[in-house]
Amino acid sequence: MYSVASHPISISFNQHHHHHHHNLTRHYKSISSPNFNNNNKNKNPFHSFTTPKSSLLSSPTISTQQNEPKQPYPLQHFHNLCNTGNLNEAFNFLQSNLNDVVSSSNLKPEELIGILLQACGRNKNIQVGRKIHDFVSSSPRFKNDVVLITRIVTMYSNCGSPNDSRFVFNSSLKKNLFLWNALLSCYSKNALFYDAVFMFVELISLAEFSPDNFTLPCVIKACAGLSDVKLGEAVHAFALKTKLFSDVFVGNALIAMYGKYGFVESAVKVFEKMPDRNLVSWNSIMYAYSENGVFEDGFCLFKGLLHGEEGLVPDVATMVTAIPMCAAQGEVKLGMVFHGLALKLGLFGELKVNNSLIDMYSKCGYLCEAQVLFDINQEKNVVSWNSMIGGYSKEGDFRGTFELLRKMQMEEKFKANEVTLLNVLPVCAEEIQFLKLKEIHGYALRHGFLQNDELVANAFVAGYAKCGSLDYAEGVFCDMESKSVSSWNAIIGGHAQNGFPRKALDFYLLMRDSGLDFDWFTIGSLLSACARLKSLPYGKEIHGFMLRNSLELDEFIGISLVSLYVQCGNMLPAKLFFDNMEEKSLVCWNTMINGFSQNELPCDALDIFRQMLSSKNQPDEISVIGALGACSQVSALRLGKELHCFATKAHLTEDSFVTCSLIDMYAKCGCMEQSQNIFNSVYQKDEASWNVLITGYGIHGHGLKAIELFKSMQNSGCRPDSITFIGLLMACNHAGLLTAGLEYLGQMQSLFGIKPKLEHYACVVDMLGRAGRLNEAMKLVNDIPDEPDSGIWSSLLSSCRIYGDLDIGEEVAKKLLKLGPNKAENYVLVSNLYAGLGKWDKVREVRQRMKDIGLQKDAGCSWIEIGGKVYRFLVGDGYLLESKKIQQTWIRLEKKINKIGYKPDTSCVLHELEEEEKVKILRSHSEKLAICFGLLNTAKGTTLRVCKNLRICVDCHNAIKLVSKVDKREIIVRDNKRFHHFKKGLCSCGDYW
């Protein structure tokens, strides 16, 4: 008798007398579809489904005949005892009443003992099984009965004792093929795959029996268990040679084996060449497709089953193979079709079908539908609860996940198992969830899950790392008796991704010393650690190892490599590697866009964004944020407006980060009115949106407006944070509101409980220095709790140059050069101090030191956007196509502004040159070149927007004020400190910058 069991697909052979019992559980894998003469791969292949005439849907009819004799009482009593599991009583009854049972039935004693042995196997009652074994062995009549001996071998196999099965086999004086098959089945069933293969070799080489269609499925299952495809192919060839391939069970076993290997085409060939196929054949090949991710062909196969000539009807195993394919693809509509089909076939009441539907709806994000199915399911099991819990966990619903877990624990018959914990742990990803994580940890310890399941232990390591408790993560890791590569990956990845990259590298060295080889996940974590450390040498070592060993890169590693070079500021190799990637995912594009933007290469970032638009990848929120950041850096207003339009059409402006980026972009393009309008349109304003607007007004010098916003922020119930005060102090600095700035610095700790950081002190030091209060600034620097950074010292040194304070300046210069001995900008500041005081010997000394070290001053650079394209100008740039026109334009402007009071301020040229040479250098400043280019290429009255990488000099500031007057247009210049709005001969900074 052939019976089809549910998923995972199981093939059973019931042995009676000379039949054999094999229970082969299949796990499959797959890639191309068998040809069903159907090229239409619609998403819904079941629109025309009708139940075949030979349907199994009709209720089976049980025929009862009135004149049929009743079962004799002794035999009926014996069967009742076996069926109810009272096997010890059944054995005693059979011993005492053997003759009565035999005489009242048509069964032989051997058959009755066989029935009892089968019951022992079903109930895994090895104790009674041993008694029967002893009884048979001591009986002269039964001890050499090969059928009974075969039953005993099978009984021990079902009870999980293959050694006993082998002992019985070896002790048997008579052996036939059935006995060999029974032991082969035992080895396969108990995962002793090597023993099964050796047994098969022994059978074909030593025994006089030829393997049959019951032998080969056991051997093929063993080959699959060993993952030895060559051996499996040899058995396949043997099946072809012995003409056993035509047997449906052999074919099914081969499909399962090739599916598990991932050799889908081979599995399909076996399926197509099978002379006879049953429902298990279809289920097996469909499962192979599903496990190998070939879902479209799997759906096509399902359609072929429905319309096939065999007239087969899907069973539970079919449905629980097909429905997960919908879950994997996110095809909830197709899943609903399967749901309807299950109802039509009468399979909806089956627990496994219901569980697969719950799982499908959960994984597709349809939690309400999953919850309805879960609630109406009266026969829940642990799988039902786990599927539902997993759905809430996947959505990141911490409260919903733990509420379900609590309800599950209240049910007496259901207790959380390892799968439950693996579903729950991913939702514990924040520090606030630490206590819940500890509770689950305690439960796992009490039930021995950590000791017995490596996956659970690894999940706890990852969970503690995400919650910021790396000491606990290390504790779990150290308590693991045996650590696999996955265990090391968990602890390395936990440290790399949660702010401890150095320790991640330390753990890697320990892993290497333990003798384990790393895998792709290890490499990904190490690259991430190197990126966070900005350790390019270590990162290059890992990259070099991959190249030397010709390791193929997957998408994750490719992105990690690009990210490494991006984080280390080395964009050239990042771009080369990116260009060579065949498949560029959205994450890759975003990494490059944001990488160029963060490394102050805004034009390259915008170019990558344009390339992305030309590709099949549609930009998302992260892409737009990166591109907006690039527009902000060069004040590219037109491009920023285009991005704003794109984001609005794509419904991306609903994202708070995109909104903040838009507010920031308009502010940094000099359009505070538009920035304010977007801010006003935000329904729920968070700290970030307030901070961006306050900072925007700050860099425009609108200190009073920034203070007004700060008060409004507090009145709205939004609490200021550290970033708020950076914007506020910056606003006070640029507006010259020294008293208010000092007051807010004092209030940070006393009123708001925010400890000032170096960034806050830097603002106030600059504020005091620009006001000429250098001694107070120096005192504040000395009083800072933390060690002052180069930003604070460089700010103070600039103030010393402005006010010509050599004593404090030289003291500050020593501090600055000690902190940054390899930074060109530090030497430039020191040189400028001496140049401003006319100490040219000192200037030459500082510049010689720069030359000896190999440092070069950053050139002044300005950008201007014309017609959606950004143009860059370097100081003294004489290689431009239009440089002659630009020079002529400035000469004409200079003549005009000379008439209304312009005189070149050569004190801005900190070089020992003749006055005429100094004037010539002033004319080549990058902002002047950009403005002339703008005047040449825009209509009269158009506002010019120029962005500069250095602070604007006094001469350029004076000149541009007058240009705005004679040309009657607004010119907006953003230097590296603030905005200058030039209009009608005046500047918004009030000449204070």
Task: Report the pLDDT value the prediction gives residue 552, as an integer from 0 to 100.
Answer: 63
Task: Report the pLDDT value the prediction gives residue 845, as an integer from 0 to 100.
Answer: 92
Average pLDDT for the chain: 85
Task: Report the pLDDT value the prediction gives residue 522, as an integer from 0 to 100.
Answer: 87
Residues with Cβ within 8 Å of residue 98, at least 6 apart in sequence: 109, 112
Residues in a beta bridge with 947:
863, 974
For residues 730-737, average pLDDT: 93
Task: Report the pLDDT value the prediction gives residue 75, as an integer from 0 to 100.
Answer: 81
- Helix, strand, coil percentages (3-state) for the chain, rounded to 5, are 65, 5, 30
pLDDT(289) > 80: yes
**Is 106 or 838 the better-scoring residue by pLDDT?**
838
Residues in a beta bridge with 863:
872, 947
3-state secondary structure of 928: helix
Place of tokens 């023993």: 195
For residues 237-262, average pLDDT: 88
Task: Report the pLDDT value the prediction gives residue 25, as an integer from 0 to 100.
Answer: 33
pLDDT(7) > 90: no
**pLDDT, tens digit (0-9, with 9 covering 90-100), for 349-375:** 899 999 999 999 999 989 999 999 999
What is the model's pTM? 0.66
Q: Is 276 left (phi over 0), alpha (psi -120 to 50) or beta?
A: beta
**pLDDT, tens digit (0-9, with 9 covering 90-100), for 180-194:** 999 999 999 998 989
**pLDDT, tens digit (0-9, with 9 covering 90-100), for 439-457:** 889 988 888 887 778 889 8
Query: Distance (Å, rounded) from C-alpha 245 to C-alpha 220?
Result: 12
For residues 590-610, average pLDDT: 92
**pLDDT, tens digit (0-9, with 9 covering 90-100), for 295-329:** 888 888 888 888 877 788 999 999 999 999 999 88
Instruction: With residue 862 as reference, give the H or E element that holds it.
Output: strand 861-866
**Strand ranges for 461-545 from DSSP E:** none
3-state secondary structure of 874: strand
H-type helices in 716-860, by residue range? 722-735, 738-752, 758-770, 774-783, 790-803, 806-819, 824-836, 840-853
Task: Report the pLDDT value the prediction gives residue 306, as an integer from 0 to 100.
Answer: 86
Q: Cα-atom radius of gyration of the chain, to the nearest Å?
A: 40
Which pLDDT band, with edges at 50, 70 and 90, does 520 fall under? confident
| Vertex 643: Cα angle to 638 and 648 (nearest 5) | 125
